[in-house]
Amino acid sequence: MRTRSTTRPGGRVRRRLTVLAGSALALVAAACGGETAQEPSTSAGGGGATTIDTSKPVTVYLGRHYGIEPVFAEFTKATGIPVEFTTGKDPELRERLVVEGPNTTADLYLAADAGNLELAERAEVLAPARSEVLDGAVPERLRDRDGAWHGLSVRARTVVTSSERVPEADVPTGYDGLGDAKWKGRLCLRPSTHPYTQSLVSSLIASRGEDGATEVVESWVANEPTYIDSDSEILGAIASGRCDAAIVNSYYLPRLEAEKGEQPVRLSWVTDEPGVHVNISGAGITRHGDNPAGARRLLEWLATDGQARFAEVNFEFPANPDVAPRPELVALGGFTPDPVRVERFGTLQPDAVMLLDRAGYQ
């Protein structure tokens, strides 16, 4: 594998992953006298199967960074299609797509938050992917109803507490439980500017209405939380005694323990209705990219043949229900997810941001 890095406008880095696709592809290219090898696409929609130029790279604007390079490399090995990607934060990449318009180089927008994917769809920078493969692999509640984007992996955002200082009986069973006065000065939370916070509050609005969600957020604020803009640092703060309870994504603790061994932190699933807030990593084909067929092939592969690898590198749950999660996640036990469609996180995000501001949540 060869990795090439070149500086892009704005100081970002664009990397190209090229993997030798195997002797079969090489023989095809040789037999064609050096012409471009092509692959029939299994994608549905747009009149059926199309032919993909396997020498043409798929360019990805990428907001999900953990361990993704080997996944793209495996896709290239399986299909012969190179992948180039530019990394950044979800909102920044979404706005970049808006500003670039028809001049964008991106074929696929891959984000770590359903809210930003839905906002990208509403900004009309994504194109519907009409695909029986995707519709069969991704449950309805984890994808845009018009096919503009599809979830690829799932994370649950739930309660963590100190296993040394918090008795099991005191662990909150719901998000509102962290508003109990006993957690005053003992609570750590992500700030209001982070998409994880905004999507969580959007889900509270969806399930409780604006008044009910406001009551929950105001109770958190009343407990004078410490705001830390990193779930990893929040786990460290619990281990060191800086705080005793928090809300984090489910993959952080098992990933940390795989690296450093058992931690004095307890992850507990929210059991109060409507269940555990879940969000996704997902992707949508851009409206103005010049390789939509390759982008659709990558998206379908990530939802099927590459699904286990995509989810496991970040300790997330597969979106495809036919794919088993990592053993470390199975060991956490089952949970009931909030049934709200994740696309609502985008539609409710402006309301969530205003609610957080009114409540004094930093």
Q: Residue range 239-246: average pLDDT?
A: 97
Average pLDDT over residues 22-49: 35
pLDDT at 51: 77
* Section 283-292 average pLDDT: 97
What's residue 52's pLDDT?
Answer: 85
Q: CB atoms < 10 A from the CB of 31, how many? A: 10
Residue 14 pLDDT level (bands cut at 50, 70, 90): very low
Task: Give Cα separations from 110 to 60, 62, 67, 302 (angstroms).
Answer: 7, 5, 14, 11
CA atoms within 13 Å, Cβ hemisphere of 262: 5
- Average pLDDT of the chain to the nearest whole number: 88
pLDDT digits (tens, 9 = 90+) for 49-107: 467 888 899 999 999 877 788 999 999 999 999 999 999 999 999 999 999 999 999 99
Residue 328's pLDDT is: 95
Cis-peptide, bond into residue 57, ω within 30° of zero: no
Domains 2-154+280-325 and 156-278+328-359 share a fold: yes
Above 50 in pLDDT, residue 332?
yes
3-state DSSP call for residue 246?
Answer: strand
Domain extents in the chain: 2-154+280-325, 156-278+328-359
Percent of the chain with pLDDT over 90: 83
pLDDT of residue 50: 60
pLDDT at position 65 is 73
Write the CA distances from 89 to 17, 64, 161, 318, 331, integer angstroms. Answer: 21, 8, 28, 22, 31
> Is the separation of the CB atoms in 179 and 361 below 8 Å?
no
Residue partners of 56: CB distance under 8 A and separation at least 6: 36, 81, 82, 291, 294
Burial class (CB in 10 A: 0-12, 13-18, 19+), 215: middle
Q: Amino acid identity of 66?
A: Y
Pair 189, 246: CB distance under 8 Å:
yes
C-alpha angle 95-96-102 in degrees, rounded to nearest 5: 115
Quick one: pLDDT band at residue 33, thresholds 50, 70, 90?
very low
- Find the angle CA(261)-CA(196)-CA(239) to the nearest 5 degrees: 30
Pairing, β 265-268 against β 277-285: unpaired
Res 338 pLDDT > 80: yes
pLDDT at 67: 78
Task: Please list the alpha-helical segments (H only) found in 42-184.
Answer: 68-79, 90-100, 114-122, 132-137
First to last CA, the chain: 45
Q: What percent of the chain has pLDDT over 70?
A: 86
CATH class of the structural domain 2-154+280-325:
alpha beta
Whole-number pLDDT of residue 32: 32
Higher per-residue pLDDT: 149 or 6: 149
The architecture in CATH of the region 156-278+328-359 reads: 3-Layer(aba) Sandwich (3.40)
